[in-house]
Amino acid sequence: MAAGAVLVGFAAVGIRKILIANRGEIAVRVARTCKEMGIGTVAIYSDADRAALHVRSCDEAVRVGPPPSRESYLVIDSVIAACKATGADAVHPGYGFLSENAKFARACAGAGITFIGPPPEAMEEMGEKTRARRKAIEAGVPVVPGLKEPIPEGGETAAKDSARSLGYPIMLKAAAGGGGKGMRLVTDPKDFDSALATARREALGAFGTGASTSRRRWRGRGTSRSRSSATRTATASGSVSASAAYSGGTRR
């Protein structure tokens, strides 16, 4: 019933072919669902993924560049060109990559391609972790204590003081992007500087922006972590924010 309702909805807006701007299991799942719904599919791939399962799972496939994702899957012009070349009238971004990129959503709209996802305005509000944190606080959503602004260049000493007051362990996180890039767990204050430098470097390389630090919530004393919405977040100009961790509800 749900699939039928979605199919009717796609048909109503003229969607007949969807380009899946991703790879791996999410692309395979989207392709499988589209096939069940009678919708054509287009895969994109880098040279490293030419024979990947997601490519074989789609009706068509278009090469978008060399192995590095920043030269293939993250090149907006290449993805739009693939849509035009194959006649895809919609894009499903999956998760990661361009799925939270407002510029990409606007590029799709400008090319007359339906972006299957939130509007670019929502991405801009929630895509940067400290801004999203402020919005959550304004909306009355409980959050774990943490920094409210990115850590600026030269702000390392103040950031370390904040981390100490929050309590270790601390999670340094890229202010933008996702996929675990620019994230570093710091369990000892003496490792803060090196972890911040690494997080900034990764964040700048992957997203062109810095990192944030947030507190971490754990399921227990083992290594199984829960992705908690209560993560404490702050950011820096290679932007990073810091937050502390809990174990079994007890601050460590």
At residue 178, the pLDDT reads: 62
pLDDT under 70: residue ranges of the chain:
1-13, 177-180, 205-252
Residue 17 and residue 101 share a domain: yes
Residue 242 and residue 185 share a domain: yes
Split into its structural domains, the chain has a count of 2
Residue 161 and residue 98 share a domain: no
Residue 134 and residue 86 share a domain: no
At residue 107, the pLDDT reads: 97
Residue 226 and residue 117 share a domain: no
Residue 206 and residue 155 share a domain: yes
At residue 110, the pLDDT reads: 97
At residue 40, the pLDDT reads: 97
Residue 164 and residue 71 share a domain: no
Residue 136 and residue 86 share a domain: no
Token pair belonging to 156: 């390392």
At residue 109, the pLDDT reads: 96
- CA-to-CA distance for 56 and 240, rounded, in angstroms? 39
Task: Among 79, 105, 124, give the residue marking a domain's end.
Answer: 124
| DSSP string for 50-119 | TT-HHHHTSSEEEEEESSSGGGTTT-HHHHHHHHHHHT--EEE--SSTTTT-HHHHHHHHHTT-EE-SS-
At residue 208, the pLDDT reads: 56
At residue 229, the pLDDT reads: 29
Residue 149 and residue 47 share a domain: no
Residue 144 and residue 83 share a domain: no
Could you tell me what percentage of the chain is helix, strand and coil, using 3-state DSSP and rounding each to the nearest 5? 40, 20, 40
Note down the domain range covering 110: 2-124
Taking the model in full, what pTM does it have?
A: 0.65
